Amino acid sequence: MEEAELPLAAPLPLDGQPLQQDDVRRAGLCECDGSSRSVLRGLVLGAAFASLVGASFIVNVLVVMLRSRHPQHGSTPHDFQVDRSPTQRGANSLLREMHRSSDADIRAWGASTAVDSDEEDERQERFGAEVSEQRRLLSSGSTSHEHHSVGSAAWANALYQRRAARKGARDRRALLVVCCVLLGVGLGYGLARRRPAAASNPSPPAPQWRRVGSGPGAAARAEAQLQPEAAARSAASTQPALAPRLGPPPTIDPARWKHVLNESLPWAQTNVPAFECSDDDVTLTYWYRWRLFHLHMRRGDKLSACSSPRLGCWVRTLTLTLTLTLTLTLTLTLTLTLTR
Amino acid sequence: MITEFLRKVFWSGPHNTIVAPAGHHIMEGRWLRDDAIIDDYARFWFLGSGWRKQHPQAG
């Protein structure tokens, strides 16, 4: 087992010659060359631009919202009702006056109210519920005007429409913000790509992958690192090794797993592809599986003509036709003799 | 051919074979250096006495 492990323990570099990187600069996130650095710079600039645009837009929206919070003239539903009948007082007159407000009036009021918020709508809904409750208690018989009153369907419809319009406006605002941010990212990225800041920030030359050593004796030196004795031999013969060698392939003998392979060991040695890894459990499982596979192998029957529908079974067909014709002739002769 | 159970089970076909793990057996046996084993197995299922047990839904 030791002789199998030794070649694996040796380093296996690409092409037999170890690669080395000189002038590796560590820049922030990664070791990157000039091009990826410029891309990174473009991304950062774009993000900064986008955040600037987004911040200005958010400030604008905030100003608009604050202005709407403090309206110049309050037009509460009470004002709306009282303006229509400033001289009359009392629940009955108020209700009668309310009933006179038409659908269009309510729509116009809903459109013209400066206070445009969910809280205001809830307050008005509560007010409408109170009014309808009062009307129910008073039980005034004027049912013909019910359609246009404060607690009516038209009034609720106006409230609903206001709410829907507000929601749409909010959605449009959010969409606009997203579009602005995306536009800013794209614009900033494009600007940064168009104007690479190579003059202001001269970046050192990109690191080059270079083979260790260069010149006539490089290959021999690399081989000397890998295989000292082979290199000594080649040096003694004064011929530089042209192709680097990795040494002989590892020999894997399943005899190591004799305790699981048991009688299947010779079969496994001849038939099973050899496998070995650093995890002995995996290797053991691999060979155990092949032991089981070998145990499950059985000899089947020989292929006969009757074993397959494709091959056909002439024997069976012949016997069948012979018996059929025999019985037919027998019955025929019997019936003929009986009828005579 | 390759069996799924070492002992005879009542739900198996001829020679104690079962069609359901046949694909797994073939995938494993392809690694063998001897092709004849899996060739015989396929022949058993398609031409041999296993053809009657090729259920449309693996049984």
Task: Say whether both A221 and A196 belong to one domain.
Answer: no
Pick from A79, A302, A327: nearest CA to B48? A302
- Residue A116 — left, alpha, or beta (φ > 0 → left; ψ -120 to 50 → alpha)? beta
pLDDT at A24 over 80: no
Tens of pLDDT along A280-323?
999 999 999 999 999 999 887 776 656 655 555 656 667 788 89
User: Torsion angle of alpha carbons A184, A188, A191, A195, nearest 10°?
Assistant: 170
Tens of pLDDT along A215-273?
555 555 555 556 656 555 555 555 555 667 788 888 899 999 999 999 999 999 999 99
Number of domains in chain A: 4
Task: Say whether both A191 and A231 belong to one domain.
Answer: no
* For residues A195-212, average pLDDT: 54
Task: Say whether both A229 and A317 belong to one domain.
Answer: no
The C-alpha atoms of residue A323 and residue A327 are separated, in whole angstroms, by 6
Residue A288: per-residue pLDDT: 95
A9 belongs to a structural domain: no
The C-alpha atoms of residue A301 and residue A294 are separated, in whole angstroms, by 18
Q: Which of A291, A295, A296, A299 would best serve as a mutation to test chain B binding (most B beta carbons within 10 A)? A: A296
Task: Supply the DSSP symbol for A311.
Answer: T
Task: Say whether both A164 and A53 belong to one domain.
Answer: yes
Task: Say whether both A49 and A158 belong to one domain.
Answer: yes
Task: Say whether both A244 and A261 belong to one domain.
Answer: no
The more confident residue out of A287 and A134 is: A287
H helical segments located in A85-117: 91-100, 103-112
Task: Say whether both A288 and A317 belong to one domain.
Answer: no
Task: Supply the DSSP symbol for A303.
Answer: P
Chain A partners within 8 Å of B21 (Cβ): none
Task: Say whether both A265 and A224 belong to one domain.
Answer: no
Nearest CB among B28, B34, B49 relative to A301 is that of B49
Structural domain range at position A239: 217-248
The C-alpha atoms of residue A290 and residue A162 are separated, in whole angstroms, by 76
- The CA distance from A269 to the nearest CA of chain B, in Å, is 10
Query: By CA distance, what is A294's nearest residue in B?
Result: B2
Report CA-CA distances (Å) from A47 to A41, A176, A203, A282, A337: 10, 17, 23, 50, 111
A304 belongs to a structural domain: no
Q: What is the ipTM of this complex?
A: 0.90
Report CA-CA distances (Å) from A65 to A116, A171, A181, A317: 10, 15, 21, 95
A155 belongs to a structural domain: yes
Task: Say whether both A144 and A82 belong to one domain.
Answer: yes
Chain A partners within 8 Å of B32 (Cβ): 271-273
How many CA within 13 A on the CB side of residue A91? 11
